[in-house]
Amino acid sequence: MFSHPKEVVNKIGLTSGMVVADVGSGSGEYSIALAKAVGHEGRVYAIDVQKELLTKVKNAASKEGIGTIEVIWGDVEKSGGSGLSDNSVDVSVLANVLFQLEDKKSAISELVRITRPTGKIVIVDWRDSFGGLGPRAQDVISVEDAEALFAESGFKKTSDFDAGDHHYGLILKRS
């Protein structure tokens, strides 16, 4: 079974009114679940480098009657590439994206930049390649490697969670 956005979002401790960045939002399954969790007082920034996927996010939000998702065409592998201000979000979510990033350190720096000092970063990524079901074996980022990458930027794991049969979930905060 793949990661289930609604179940994952229920595990990360969001409350009404929070501001969340869905970094590498893809077609928006996480964005929709995040928006429902933060309610009408909250805000979700769906950020992706692929414009056509952002159109899907807009359409899905409209279909669900959700007006609190703002789509941003951006490249988080560049400084300022999210289009967001420093310390502007309570939670940054990176779901099924870490393994795809070419410049992981730059992307992590961008996440750190936009996440408030009291905020958290949530990672959901593949445990393995599962015989070609997930990413190529050489692209998989282990839990330990993910923790180490974020530790270099001053974030440490505060908890982990079950994100499905093929994924792991981490919650990180500034150390």
Residue 155 has pLDDT above 90, yes or no: yes
What is the spatial distance between Cα 131 and Cα 29, in angstroms, rounded to a whole number?
25
Residue pair 156/175 in contact by the 8 Å Cβ criterion:
yes
pLDDT of residue 129: 74
User: Tens digits of per-residue pLDDT, 64-115?
Assistant: 999 999 999 999 999 999 999 999 999 999 999 999 999 999 999 999 999 9
What is the spatial distance between Cα 78 and Cα 58, in angstroms, rounded to a whole number?
24
* Average pLDDT across the chain, whole number: 94
Residue 13 has pLDDT above 90, yes or no: yes
Query: Would the pTM count as exceeding 0.75?
Result: yes
Residue 3 has pLDDT above 80, yes or no: no
Backbone Cα Rg of the chain: 15
Nearest to 64 by CA among 17, 96, 31: 31
What is the spatial distance between Cα 103 and Cα 107, in angstroms, rounded to a whole number?
6
pLDDT class for 30, splitting at 50, 70, 90? very high
What is the spatial distance between Cα 142 and Cα 140, in angstroms, rounded to a whole number?
6
Q: Residue 61 is encoded by which pair of tokens?
A: 């939000």
Q: Of 1-10, 23-32, 144-153, where does mean pLDDT reach its minimum?
A: 1-10
Residue 132 has pLDDT above 80, yes or no: no
pLDDT of residue 50: 95
